[in-house]
Amino acid sequence: MKNCIFCKIVEKKLPANIIFEDDYFLAFHDIKPAAPVHLLLIPKKHIESINHTDKNDEIWLGKMLLLIPKIAFDNGCKPGIDGGFRIINNCGAAVGQEVLHLHFHILGGFVGS
């Protein structure tokens, strides 16, 4: 999408502190972190939100969700019962989605996490 900030990051037209990339997904540090670890995981394909997915998307969505723990633990979140991380996905402006490109916030590094 022409004016999507995340699409511009995927195309390397805007800088980002990228911490993971493969053929389908990109993860990078949030520029306004709300936690000691605050990462964003996005599909490279532009999709406005989870509300714009359907049954045809279940395989790549599953792969995306399975990446989250790996990305979290590789970037400072502590695994195990005494650790953890939070996942946030906003679907629409009314609930705080600022960039209309599907993304998951991965937050961690809180005391005890």
Supply the mean pLDDT for the chain.
94
The Cα angle at residue 113 between residues 6 and 70, in degrees rounded to 5: 50
Tokens 């991965």 belong to which residue? 106
pLDDT digits (tens, 9 = 90+) for 15-65: 999 999 999 999 999 999 999 999 999 999 999 999 999 999 999 999 999
What is the side-by-side order of every strand in the sheet holding 25-29? 18-21, 25-29, 37-43, 104-108, 86-88
Q: Is 46 annotated in the active site?
A: no
**CA neighbours closer than 13 Å in the CB half-sphere of residue 62:** 6
Share of the chain above pLDDT 70, in %: 96
Question: Which domains are delineated in the chain?
Answer: 5-108 (3.30.428.10)
Catalytic residue, chosen from 29, 52, 101, 103, is 103
